[in-house]
């Protein structure tokens, strides 16, 4: 068991421990997206007024655009051998990175909770113990898998990609037997605001993976092609999510209240009764287990990154790993139990609101890594507040704040609607603003001051330069 449990956390993965190929990113992200929450996300495009045809097109566009941004983060993993959010210290400072990290942790807890609600329903039905017990059981299993770590996560991804793909093929055949597809897609009327809602739903789905995607590519050999990592990640994530979301669109467009009242119950009922129903409940739980383990693992990694920036901590004991994971599990379970009866509306707003906080971080991180630093980081300095990156990088934090505020006039949720939403016909374009403005501002500021950038990536403390700020 000791050999199976991952020993590393936020520390760099040495070359002798690297393994696998870029294709592992494809199977992981297919498995992480073929599940009931992605189905619900696609359904939301129809639930809130969109037609099936343009909802599918909008979701595809959002998956490709958001997925490309997410895959650019994934390509950083083999190069640096670090968890995703550690690299944010190069932009925000060793301590300053805590600002986006706090929001990332909230994201993990929220996604853990939303996934646990749906998976808990499946576990409750499968075990006949009810939703509440199902949520708790599922949460405990998730935490156990996250404690084991990287290898079990990729194993889950491979298994889920196959099992869930077979199940979705079966469910798709069953659905097409019930509906007239040509009739469902016959409505060609186009509403720009509703089209943008669909794009935003899937783009936010993909962008929300950005803060942890490199966590699952960092063990790949350093010689792994960045392009291969990018394309296998994008291919797996876009394929898995679009497949699930398209299914959700068709179900929502034809089932109405039958689906809205019980998402898990309707999908299982579509597949059959008796043994087949039990199999589908298991598949739903398996699909959600994969992504919830990612959320738990990423959450603990982000908590350690936040705290270690102030404590100077570079490693974590197995006991410490377990404690952090339990904190994420308990917090997510409490939220799941509290919000399980109002899931659908709150989840839509949660997804859209997440965009406001993660698109500026993503823009800054990618511009710095690919255009300013050009993939050259001083890895030991990422743990040294007195090193070349300093404690707080106020230029990046300022850009992040501007990027965050710039989105609010364009943001549309049930609890807040910006003043520029109505003139745009109700369209939410906040995520576009949140990518473009911080990217441009950060480039303008950062390319003038590159003294802290090493001539090549520094991997050992002995080669690390002293502070230049």
**How many domains is the chain partitioned into structurally?**
1
Alpha-carbon span 25 to 383, nearest angstrom: 27
Most confident option among 103-107, 113-117, 140-144, 255-259: 140-144
Helix (H) or strand (E) holding 338: helix 318-339
For 246, other C-beta atoms within 10 Å of its C-beta total 20
Q: What beta strand segments (E) does 76-216 contain?
A: none
Most confident option among 40-54, 58-72, 376-390: 58-72
Give a yes or no: residue 339 inside a domain. yes
Read off the pLDDT band of 467 (50, 70, 90).
very low
Instruction: Evaluate the CA torsion angle 296, 298, 304, 306 in order and state its sign.
Output: negative
pLDDT tens-place string over residues 160-209: 999 999 999 999 999 999 888 888 888 888 888 889 889 988 998 898 88
Read off the pLDDT band of 468 (50, 70, 90).
very low
Decide: 300 and 318 in contact? Cβ < 8 Å. no
pLDDT tens-place string over residues 94-133: 999 888 888 888 878 888 887 788 778 778 878 888 888 8
Give a yes or no: residue 181 inside a domain. yes
Give a yes or no: residue 67 inside a domain. yes
Q: What beta strand segments (E) does 38-126 contain?
A: none
Q: Check which CATH number belongs to the domain holding 67 and give it.
A: 1.10.4160.10
Report DSSP state, residue 414.
S
Give a yes or no: residue 7 inside a domain. no
CA–CA–CA angle 140, 347, 151 (5° rounding)? 40
Give a yes or no: residue 419 inside a domain. no
pTM assigned to the model: 0.88
Alpha-carbon span 121 to 130, nearest angstrom: 7
Structural domain containing residue 219:
15-355
Q: What beta strand segments (E) does 35-176 contain?
A: none
Mean of per-residue pLDDT scores for the chain: 86
pLDDT tens-place string over residues 222-251: 999 999 999 999 999 999 999 999 999 999
What pLDDT is attached to residue 10? 78
Give a yes or no: residue 370 inside a domain. no
Closest CA to 35 of 160, 142, 169: 160
Q: By three-state DSSP, how is residue 2 classified? A: coil
Give a yes or no: residue 139 inside a domain. yes
For 297, other C-beta atoms within 10 Å of its C-beta total 31
Give a yes or no: residue 267 inside a domain. yes
């Amino acid at each position: 068991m000791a050999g199976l449990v991952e020993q590393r956390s936020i520390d760099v993965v040495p070359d002798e421990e690297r393994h696998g190929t870029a294709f592992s990113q494809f199977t992981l992200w297919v498995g992480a997206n073929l599940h009931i929450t992605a189905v619900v996300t696609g359904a939301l495009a129809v639930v809130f007024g969109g037609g099936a045809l343009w909802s599918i097109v909008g979701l595809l566009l959002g998956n490709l655009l958001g997925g490309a941004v997410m895959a650019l983060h994934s390509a950083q993993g083999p190069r640096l051998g670090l968890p995703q959010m550690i690299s944010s210290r190069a932009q925000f400072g060793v301590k300053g990175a805590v600002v986006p990290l706090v929001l990332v942790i909230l994201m993990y807890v929220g996604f853990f909770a939303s996934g646990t609600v749906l998976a808990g329903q499946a576990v409750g039905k499968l075990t006949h113990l009810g939703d509440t017990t199902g949520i708790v059981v599922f949460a405990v299993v998730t935490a156990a898998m996250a404690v084991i770590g990287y290898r079990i996560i990729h194993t889950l991804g491979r298994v889920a990609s196959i099992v869930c793909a077979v199940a979705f093929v079966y469910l798709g055949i069953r659905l097409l037997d019930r509906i007239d597809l040509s009739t469902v897609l016959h409505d060609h009327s186009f509403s720009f605001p509703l089209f943008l809602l669909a794009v935003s739903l899937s783009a936010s789905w993909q962008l929300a993976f950005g803060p942890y995607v490199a966590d699952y590519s960092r063990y790949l050999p350093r010689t792994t092609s960045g392009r291969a990592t990018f394309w296998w990640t994008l291919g797996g994530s876009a394929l898995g999510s679009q497949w699930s979301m398209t299914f959700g669109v068709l179900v929502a467009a034809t089932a109405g209240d039958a689906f809205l009242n019980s998402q898990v119950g309707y999908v299982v009922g579509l597949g059959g009764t008796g043994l087949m129903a039990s199999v589908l409940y298991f598949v739903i739980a398996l699909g959600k287990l994969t992504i919830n383990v990612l959320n738990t693992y990423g959450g603990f990694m982000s908590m350690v990154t936040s705290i270690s920036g102030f404590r100077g901590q570079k490693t974590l004991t197995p006991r410490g790993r377990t404690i952090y994971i339990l904190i994420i599990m308990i917090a997510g379970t409490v939220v799941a139990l509290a919000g399980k009866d109002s899931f659908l509306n709150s989840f839509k707003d949660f997804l859209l609101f997440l965009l406001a906080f993660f698109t500026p971080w993503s823009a800054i991180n990618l511009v710095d890594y690919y255009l300013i630093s050009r993939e050259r980081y001083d890895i030991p300095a990422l743990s040294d507040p007195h090193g070349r990156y300093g404690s707080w990088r106020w230029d990046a934090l300022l850009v992040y704040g501007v990027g965050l505020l710039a989105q609010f006039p364009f943001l549309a949720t049930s609890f807040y609607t910006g003043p520029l939403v109505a003139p745009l016909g109700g369209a939410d374009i906040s995520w576009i603003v949140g990518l473009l403005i911080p990217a441009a501002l950060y480039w303008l500021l950062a390319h003038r001051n590159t003294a802290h950038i090493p001539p090549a990536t520094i991997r050992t403390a002995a080669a690390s330069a002293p502070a230049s700020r």
